[in-house]
């Protein structure tokens, strides 16, 4: 029976984990059981989407706000750490420019913001600026420039790092 359920889950694109975990779900009614199994499927898809967005973003290293020292960062008035973490600037279609001396945590903060944006469901791309210039040049040479621009335009968050190395 479990193999049949796995096959049905595959056909419905619910994931094999549903078939493997349905025995563990405790419910007092069929309706509650169905709710819990569907909720688990939705949560699994959300997790997969977040992980896919993070992978597709192209971060050199995955960074988070955990343990980040904001003491070297000056935020504009009216902008708090919480506002940054909420990624409201993405929803409001606002630009965010991080600048300062080397070693102040700009790359860490930009990456943490990008990872958070991915977690919140925003398509994100990360490039060192010199790499982006090289990729654009290569796209022009190989006549794939339109495809590359389309990829860039689909990103809700575009992080360009290390401007000083162009």
Q: What whole-number distance in Å separates Cα of residue 67 and Cα of residue 112?
A: 11
Sign of CA dihedral 113, 59, 151, 43: negative
Assess contact for 134 and 148: CB atoms under 8 A: no
Q: What whole-number distance in Å separates Cα of residue 90 and Cα of residue 129?
A: 20
In the structure, what pLDDT confidence band is assigned to residue 163 with cuts at 50, 70 and 90?
A: confident
What pTM was estimated for this model as a whole? 0.83
Is the CATH code 3.40.50.300 the one for domain 70-165? yes
Q: Report the 10 Å Cβ neighbour count for 79.
A: 13
Look at phi and psi of residue 135 and say left if phi exceeds 0, alpha if psi is from -120 to 50, else beta: alpha
For residue 125 the two structure tokens come to 């791309």
- Give pLDDT tens digits for 51-108: 999 999 999 999 999 989 888 788 888 888 898 899 999 999 988 888 888 888 999 9
Q: Where are the domains of the chain?
A: 2-57, 70-165
């Amino acid at each position: 029976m479990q193999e049949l359920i796995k096959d049905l889950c595959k056909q419905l694109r619910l994931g094999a984990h549903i078939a493997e975990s349905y025995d563990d779900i405790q419910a007092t009614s069929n309706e509650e059981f169905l709710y819990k199994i569907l909720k688990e499927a939705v949560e699994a898809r959300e997790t997969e989407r977040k992980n896919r967005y993070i992978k597709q973003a192209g971060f050199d290293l995955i960074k988070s706000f955990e343990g980040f020292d904001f003491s070297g960062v000056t935020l504009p008035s009216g902008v708090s750490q919480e506002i940054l973490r909420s990624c409201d600037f993405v929803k409001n279609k606002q630009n965010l420019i991080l600048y300062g001396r080397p070693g102040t945590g700009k790359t860490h903060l930009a990456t943490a913001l990008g990872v958070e944006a991915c977690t919140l469901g925003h398509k994100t791309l990360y490039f060192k600026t010199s790499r982006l210039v090289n990729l654009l040049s290569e796209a022009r040479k190989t006549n794939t420039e339109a495809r590359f621009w389309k990829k860039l335009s689909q990103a809700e968050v575009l992080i360009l790092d290390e401007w000083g190395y162009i």
